[in-house]
Chain A
Amino acid sequence: MGNACNTITFNAAQCDGCGLCMTACAETKGSARIQVLPAEDKTYALSLCRQCGDPHCVSTCPTGALTKDVDTGVIAWNGDKCVDCLLCTVGCSYAGISLDAQTRRVVKCDTCDGAPACAAACPTKALRYVTTARIYNEVRDWEDLFAPGLSGCQGCNTELLMRHTMRRVGPDSVLATPPGCVPGMGSVGFNGLAGTKVPVFHPLLTNTAAMLAGVKRQYNRLGREVTAIAIAGDGGAADVGFQSLSGAAERGEQMLFMVIDNEGYMNTGMQRSGCTPFGAWTSTTPVGPESRGKSQDAKNLPLIMMQHRCAYVATASTAYMEDFYDKLDRAIQAAKTGFAYLHVYSPCTTGWRFPADQNMEVARKAVETNFVLLWEYTPGQGLRFTHAPDNPLPVTAYLKVMGRFRHLSPEQISHIQNKIEENSAFVTSLAQSAAAQA
Chain B
Amino acid sequence: MDATQYLIVGSSHAAIEAVNAIRLHDAEGSLTLATKDSQLPYSPTVLPYVVSGRSSPDRAFLRDDNFFARQKVDFRRGCALSALDPQRKLARFADGSEIAFDKILLATGAAPVRPPIPGLDTVPCHVLRTLDDATGLRAASGRARRAVVLGGGLVGMHAAENLVEAGQVEVTIVEMNSQVMGGYFDATAAALIEKAFAAHGARLLTGHKVVAAAPAGQGAVLALDNGENLEADLLLVAVGVQPDLGYLNGSGVACQAGILVDDTMQTSAAGVWAAGDCAQARNFFTGTNTLNAILPAAAEQGRIAGMAMAGDSDLKPYRGGVPLNTYRFFGHHALSVGNGDAPPGAEVMTRLDEAQGRYLKAIFHEDCLRGIFAIDEFFDGGVMWELIRRRIDLSAMRERFFADPLAAGRELMSQHWR
Contacts and interface: CB of A to CB of B under 8 A. Distances in A.
Interface of A: 35, 37-40, 45-47, 54, 56, 59-64, 81, 83-87, 89-95, 98-99, 101, 104
Contacts of A92: 380, 382
A35 B303 CA distance: 30
A63 B43 contact: yes
B380 A86 contact: no
13 contacts: A38-B411, A39-B418, A47-B410, A54-B20, A59-B13, A59-B17, A63-B43, A85-B328, A90-B337, A93-B417, A95-B382, A95-B410, A104-B331
Interface string B292-333: 000110011001000000000000000000001010100101
**Residue of A60, A87, A95 with most chain B CB atoms under a 10 A cut-off:** A60
Interface residues of B, number: 44
Given A59-B303, A83-B49, A90 B296 contact: yes
Interface stretch (B57-65, B96-104, B118-126, B183-191): B57-65
B43 A62 contact: yes
Contact of B381 (A81, A84, A86): A86
A60 B295 contact: yes
B414 A93 contact: no
A91 B337 CA distance: 11
A93 B43 contact: no
B211 interface: no
Contact of A87 (B24, B45, B410, B418): B45
Nearest to A94: B413
A161 B49 CA distance: 54
B335 A93 contact: no
Interface in B380-418: 380-383, 385-386, 407, 409-411, 413-415, 417-418
Choose among A61, A62, A99 the residue with the greatest number of B CB atoms under 10 Å from its CB. A62
Contacts of B24: 54
B229 interface: no
Given A62-B46, A63-B46, A95-B382, A87 B295 contact: yes
B284 interface: no
B410 A86 contact: no
B177 interface: no
A90 B326 contact: yes
Interface string B359-392: 0000000000000000000101111011000000
Nearest to A36: B414
Give the secondary structure class of A's interface: loop
Contact of B63 (A46, A60, A64, A86): A64
A92 B324 CA distance: 13
A89 B49 contact: no
Contacts of A63: 43, 46, 49, 55, 60, 62
Contacts of A83: 46, 49, 54-55
Contacts of A99: 333, 378
Given A59-B303, A86-B381, A95 B46 contact: no
Nearest to B335: A86
Contacts of B300: 59
Contacts of A61: 62
Interface string B34-51: 000000000111100100
B410 A93 contact: no
Contact of A94 (B43, B326, B382): B382
B378 A62 contact: no
A13 to B, nearest CB: 14
Contacts of A54: 20, 24
A92 B410 CA distance: 12
Given A59-B303, A93-B417, 15 more contacts: A39-B414, A39-B418, A45-B411, A45-B414, A59-B13, A61-B62, A62-B44, A90-B381, A94-B382, A94-B413, A94-B418, A95-B382, A95-B409, A95-B413, A98-B378
Instruction: Give the secondary structure class of B's interface.
Output: helix
B414 A37 contact: yes
B378 A101 contact: yes
- A-B pairs with the 3 shortest C-beta distances? A45-B414, A90-B381, A62-B43
Nearest to B417: A93
A64 B61 CA distance: 7
Q: Which of A46, A87, A92 has the most CB of B within 10 A?
A: A87
B414 A91 contact: no
Contacts of B55: 63, 81, 83
Contacts of B60: 63-64
Given A63-B46, A89-B326, A47 B414 contact: yes
A38 B236 CA distance: 50
A103 to B, nearest CB: 12
A39 B413 CA distance: 9
Most buried by A among B407, B411, B414, B418: B414
B66 to A, nearest CB: 12
A89 B300 CA distance: 15
Contact of B45 (A40, A85, A104): A85
A101 B45 CA distance: 24
B396 to A, nearest CB: 13
A60 B418 CA distance: 21
A104 B326 CA distance: 14
Contacts of B54: 83
A95 B383 contact: yes
Nearest to A57: B382
Contact of A84 (B44, B299, B328, B335): B328
A64 B63 CA distance: 7
* A39, A64, A98: residue with the most chain B Cβ atoms closer than 10 Å: A64
Contacts of B382: 56, 89-95
B403 to A, nearest CB: 15
Contacts of B331: 104
Contacts of A93: 382-383, 385-386, 413, 417
B18 to A, nearest CB: 11
A99 B380 CA distance: 9
Contacts of B326: 85-87, 89-90
Nearest to B302: A59
A56 B16 CA distance: 12
Contacts of A101: 378
B86 to A, nearest CB: 28
